[in-house]
């Protein structure tokens, strides 16, 4: 299948660079995708088709971080207006707002949706109890530069972060104490916790590194043909994808580190990449202001891709999201 032409679905609607994205788990209504953009208007889409569902309006600056809880009932956003917000993802209403003293770069929900993590240019990580929003958050300090990404893992008992100080750090969620630290020679551009929680994926310089999440031992490191901004490991850990400065999307064999294929589709550097929860596609966000959805197995009938004589043809002519119609849930 590698010799078939990849035909991505292009999701338009944003007016500035798309800098972060996140998927929900698979729910009874399918799965969902949220995107962060410098236009300050994060968007929610149907994950397998890219169809626009709604836009969360309320931030007064670029949105840098987004998250969906597992069942896609809540969304979270962090922005340059020094604010982190929790939204009802079904009706788009703002539920809670947490003011910070600097740009909020990253947000994440615990797996049970009761805790909320933020990472900011204050060099701090905060953990809020959403059942007690007025209570003071647990604050984790130790990073010496702005925090880029933060995630819960290990059944929400730990938190992992990367920052501009060229470190990855693991924290005890309850005490806020740092447990382990890994130092890099360059700034880690992206961080991902694998679906099963066992592997951390970090893109830095022209490399993608994988670490055992328990011991923080490096499992492997793969050199990529470009400066890489983001990488994502397939749920079954057979392949990973990444993208960066040369506008291409790359797919690699995880076990061997060999490049499987590369595709060009964006018209600007790729800022963020993530596999869907079922592993059937991966999404990318770019400086060009678009999200694109790519098939993991080119030529397979899935979502809007209909395979005709072995050639994948998106049923909307690769224009998912260009015609925006509001989806109203019954």
Q: Measured between alpha carbons, how far is 88 from 68 in angstroms, rounded to an integer?
A: 10
| Contact criterion met (CB below 8 Å) for 125 and 119 | yes
Identify whether 71 is part of a domain: yes
DSSP per position, 177-207: -EEEEEE-SS-EEEEEE-TTS-EEEEEETTE
When comparing pLDDT for 249 and 322, which is higher?
Answer: 249
Residue 307: CB atoms within 10 Å = 15
Question: Structure pTM?
Answer: 0.91
Identify whether 63 is part of a domain: yes
Q: What is the pLDDT of residues 256-265, one digit of tens each?
A: 999 999 999 8
Identify whether 89 is part of a domain: yes
Res 166: pLDDT: 98
* Residues forming a β-bridge with 45: 33, 52
Res 200: pLDDT: 98
Q: Which residues of 98-134 are buried (b: 16+ CB within 10 A; e: fewer)?
A: bebeebbbbbbbbeeeebbbbbbbbbbbbbbebeeee
Identify whether 265 is part of a domain: yes
Domain count, the chain: 1
Cα-trace Rg, the chain: 19
Identify whether 18 is part of a domain: yes
SS3 at position 148:
strand
Q: Measured between alpha carbons, how far is 210 from 93 in angstroms, rounded to an integer?
A: 38
Average the pLDDT over 13-30 and give the result: 97
Q: Measured between alpha carbons, how far is 204 from 148 in angstroms, rounded to an integer?
A: 12
Per the structure, the complete domain to which residue 109 belongs is given by 9-314
Q: Which residues lie closer than 8 Å to 216 by C-beta, 6 or more apart?
A: 168, 170, 180, 182, 200
Average the pLDDT over 145-161 and give the result: 97
Report the CATH number that the domain containing residue 222 is assigned in CATH.
Answer: 2.130.10.10
Res 299: pLDDT: 86
Residue 80: CB atoms within 10 Å = 18
**Two tokens at 57?**
């309006």
Assign 322 a pLDDT band (cuts: 50, 70, 90): very low
| Among the listed residues 100, 196, 102, 101, the one whose alpha carbon sits nearest the alpha carbon of residue 116 | 100
Identify whether 234 is part of a domain: yes
Res 311: pLDDT: 53
Identify whether 109 is part of a domain: yes
| Contact criterion met (CB below 8 Å) for 53 and 92 | no
**Two tokens at 317?**
């002519």
Q: What is the pLDDT of residues 221-247, one digit of tens each?
A: 999 999 999 999 999 999 999 999 999
Does 2 have pLDDT greater than 80? no
By DSSP bridging, strand 207-212 and strand 218-223 are: antiparallel
Start-end of H helices in the chain: none
Average the pLDDT over 160-166 and give the result: 98
Res 7: pLDDT: 86
Res 310: pLDDT: 52
Give the residue carrying structure tokens 């569902």. 53
| Contact criterion met (CB below 8 Å) for 42 and 76 | no
Average the pLDDT over 174-196 and give the result: 96
Q: For 137, which DSSP code?
A: P
**Two tokens at 132?**
């007690």
Torsion of CA 232, 188, 284, 264, to 10 degrees: -100
Identify whether 328 is part of a domain: no
| Contact criterion met (CB below 8 Å) for 259 and 249 | no
**Two tokens at 106?**
């990253």
Q: What is the pLDDT of residues 59-110, one digit of tens each?
A: 999 999 999 999 999 999 999 999 999 999 999 999 999 999 999 999 999 9
When comparing pLDDT for 132 and 317, which is higher?
Answer: 132
């Amino acid at each position: 299948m590698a010799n078939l032409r990849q035909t991505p679905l292009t999701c338009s609607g944003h007016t500035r660079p798309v800098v972060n994205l996140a998927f929900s788990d698979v729910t009874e209504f399918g799965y969902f995708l949220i995107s962060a953009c410098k236009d300050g208007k994060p968007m929610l889409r149907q994950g397998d088709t890219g169809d626009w569902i709604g836009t969360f309006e309320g931030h007064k600056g670029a949105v840098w971080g987004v998250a969906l809880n597992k069942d896609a009932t809540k969304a979270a956003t962090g922005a340059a207006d020094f604010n982190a917000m929790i939204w009802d993802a079904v009706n788009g209403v703002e539920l809670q707002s947490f003011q910070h003293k600097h740009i909020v770069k990253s947000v994440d929900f615990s797996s049970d949706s009761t805790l909320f993590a933020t990472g900011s240019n204050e060099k701090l990580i905060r953990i809020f109890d959403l059942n007690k929003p007025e209570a003071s958050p647990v604050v984790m300090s130790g990073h010496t530069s702005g925090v880029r990404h933060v995630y819960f893992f290990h059944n929400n008992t730990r938190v992992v972060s990367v920052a501009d100080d060229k470190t990855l750090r693991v924290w005890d969620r309850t005490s806020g104490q740092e447990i382990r630290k890994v130092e890099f020679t360059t700034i880690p551009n992206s961080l991902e916790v694998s679906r099963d929680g066992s592997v951390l994926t970090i893109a830095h310089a022209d490399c993608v590194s994988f670490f055992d999440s328990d011991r923080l031992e490096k499992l492997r490191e793969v050199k990529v043909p470009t400066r890489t901004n983001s990488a994502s490991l397939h749920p079954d850990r057979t392949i990973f994808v990444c993208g960066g400065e040369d506008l291409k999307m790359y797919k690699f064999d995880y076990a061997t580190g060999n490049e499987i294929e590369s595709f060009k589709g964006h018209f600007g550097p790729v800022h963020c990449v993530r596999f869907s929860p079922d592993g059937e596609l991966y999404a990318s966000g770019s400086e060009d202001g678009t999200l694109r959805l790519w098939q993991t197995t080119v030529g397979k009938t899935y979502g809007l891709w209909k395979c005709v004589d072995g050639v994948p043809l998106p049923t909307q002519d690769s224009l998912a999201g260009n015609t925006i119609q509001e989806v109203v849930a019954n």
